[in-house]
A and B are shown apart, each in its own frame.
Chain A
Amino acid sequence: MEDDADRLIAEARRLRRAGEAEAALELLDQADRIGLGDDPVRGAAARMERGWAANALRRWPDAHAAFAAAAAAAPDDPQVRTWHGRALYNVARDAEAEAELRAVLARDRDWWMAWSFLADLCLVDGREQEAMEAFSEVLRIDPDNGYAYHQRGRLRAQAGDQAGAAADRQETARCGFDPADLDEDEAEEGDDSG
């Protein structure tokens, strides 16, 4: 049977996913005040949840603090370290972010989310060839990843590989995100809808 600490963390997750990240943080704060954070495993899980909730609220320093604390508690966990890497990027510590993601991948080459975050990091840094390779790694592990197909297709087109780009567009469509499926007017309406 789940204990109360696990249920609390699960409830915070549910609140976050329901778009109530602030309420999730309040719940985790209450739990921290009575010592949940002192438990080595559940404390780390609660910090991860806190980091995701802070991310949802765009509170990057808070998210970084939470993921850093989780990484300190669970240094061997690839998921924790991956999110810590992303958090480092969000507080502008790009070199450390990349080092963290590469450390995850040095241990586990099949951790697709680390490849995906690394690809994003290469993109913002203008290293498109490296980004393309990282997206290819994502797709090696997760062949239904529409975002990776989309970005790799875009990069291939820019690099003049039209056949590769077309193949990736087809795969993007297979994942349910066919760019040709919406006409230009509807796309332009994006400014006013949603």
Chain B
Amino acid sequence: MSASGHGVGDARASEAVVRANLERELARLEAADPFSAFGLSHDADDRAVRAAFLAATKRLHPNRFARASAPVRTLANEVFLRIKDAYGAIETAEGRDKVLARRGRAPAAPTIGEGSGAVRVGFPSLPRVMLTPARAPSPTLAPPPEPVGPAPPAAAAPSLASIRQQALDRRAEEVRLHHARGCEAQQAGRMDEARDEYRRALDLDSGFQPALDALAGLSSSRFRK
């Protein structure tokens, strides 16, 4: 890193701003084809694609975020993987032709929806249902829809509950997995990695006692020497 001093960890670039930007970037890239991932026109050539990739790399390379918190580093890695995928798809003329051919094959129907039930969506003609509060601020990363309106049918509740329980069971497994990885890293002397894994476990379940204990142990061991 150069000494220009704008990286994460520098007071001038607050981590909250960086994190919000990375979240936005990830949401954008997830919904972007390889051309729009880089803001390139469809007739971009090798040179333009390479230049755009290098520019994106300079802005978003994971090294830039090496001193940031674990969630920011994870986000940065996700973003960069998307960038590399996009570049891989269009770095050659052949790849670009493939991407454009796929677009060319898609139908251009005048309606939305699928099959015989397709409808043209218009503001005035359909029932008023809002997921986004009327006075909501502009979205950041795909903000969670905030449902309003009637409760779901009571008859569906028990089954939904059982599905949710399965999901919670899966989450509990993830918590245990992160904790186990943390223990493994700690035993191997990779303390930063261990700390990250314990924190990931706690991100999923803030009351998970083994991870709380392990993290406390790591913190106190820092002062023993």
Asked if A and B bind, the verdict is yes
CB pair A76–B138 under 8 Å, yes or no, is no
Given known A42-B147, A75-B126, contact A116–B167 (CB-CB < 8 A): no
Given known A13-B144, A36-B152, A186-B61, contact A176–B21 (CB-CB < 8 A): yes
Residues from chain A with Cβ under 8 Å of B148 in the complex: 41
Residues from chain B with Cβ under 8 Å of A172 in the complex: 59
Q: Mark B153-191, 1 if CB is under 8 A from A, else 0.
A: 100110111011001101100100000000000000000
Main secondary structure of the interface of A (DSSP, over half): helix
CB pair A182–B103 under 8 Å, yes or no, is no
Residues from chain B with Cβ under 8 Å of A74 in the complex: 129-131
CB pair A93–B157 under 8 Å, yes or no, is no
Q: Does A39 contact B (CB under 8 A)?
A: yes
Tell me the complex Cα distance, A123–B121, Å. Answer: 26
Tell me the complex Cα distance, A126–B129, Å. Answer: 36
Residues from chain B with Cβ under 8 Å of A181 in the complex: 1-2, 4, 6-7, 58, 64
Tell me the complex Cα distance, A19–B156, Å. Answer: 28
CB pair A145–B21 under 8 Å, yes or no, is yes
Residues from chain A with Cβ under 8 Å of B39 in the complex: 119-120, 123-124, 131, 151, 154
Given known A74-B129, A123-B41, A178-B7, contact A147–B58 (CB-CB < 8 A): no
Interface residues of B (CB under 8 A from A): 1-2, 4, 6-8, 12-14, 17-18, 20-21, 24-25, 27-28, 30-33, 35-36, 39-43, 53-55, 57-64, 77-78, 80-81, 83-84, 103-110, 112-114, 119, 121-123, 125-132, 136, 138-139, 142-145, 147-153, 156-157, 159-161, 163-164, 167-168, 170-171, 174
